[in-house]
Amino acid sequence: MARGLDLDLVEVAPMANPPVCRIMDYGKFRYEEAQKAKEARKKSTNVTVKEVKFRPKIGKGDFDTKVRHLIEFIEEGHKVKVTLQFRGREMAHPELGAKILDQVIETVGPMAKVENQARLEGRSMSMVLAPDKKAQEAMKKAAEEAEVQAQADAEADAAAAQAEADADADE
């Protein structure tokens, strides 16, 4: 039957009693399976852990720059390890490090959730932040709605200005 249809006879379940065979185009079947596997690989996300290092005596500008990079990493879907390194006598004041890590959490806001709380390990204090997908989607949706509202307001202002210009022209 398979030869008559110009197709292949493929054994699907050799361990079944009796063995199960199917008449199909085996080349086409292999191609479709390869395409499904390729699509599955494309959909899978590769989560990496990025690291951002801070110091207890960091300046405001440096802090803002590092937090901006941290936010970019989180938006890309990466986990971020925030490390605070102590040197010398800075070890006597771990509360300063905890204060900076709290500022990072406060600045990042709902965009990320704390996966591992800050803890002191030797001369460094570290924590891990993971992206919070639901919060990011909600923020994007709110931003889009605000943009649509701003565009509608701009159009209304333009229409009002046009009506005013028409009224002045009629006088």
pLDDT in tens, 110-167: 788 888 888 888 889 999 998 887 777 777 788 888 888 888 888 888 888 888 777 7
Do both 34 and 72 map to the same domain? no
Domain of 38, in residue numbers: 8-43
Do both 58 and 127 map to the same domain? yes
55-77 pLDDT, tens digit each: 988 899 999 999 999 988 888 88
Q: Where are the beta strands (DSSP E) in 27-166?
A: 49-54, 79-85, 112-121, 124-131
3-state secondary structure of 132: coil
Do both 78 and 107 map to the same domain? yes
Q: How many domains does the chain have?
A: 2
**What is the mean predicted confidence (pLDDT) over 98-102?**
89
Do both 21 and 65 map to the same domain? no
Q: Residue 57's pLDDT is what?
A: 87
Do both 94 and 34 map to the same domain? no
Do both 92 and 63 map to the same domain? yes
Residue 159 lies in a domain: no
Best CA proximity match to 132, nearest among 157, 152, 112, 161: 112
Cα–Cα distance between 9 and 99 in angstroms, integer?
70
Q: Residue 171's pLDDT is what?
A: 63
DSSP category for residue 11 = E
Do both 54 and 128 map to the same domain? yes
Beta carbons within 8 Å of 2's beta carbon, 6+ residues apart: 8, 9, 23
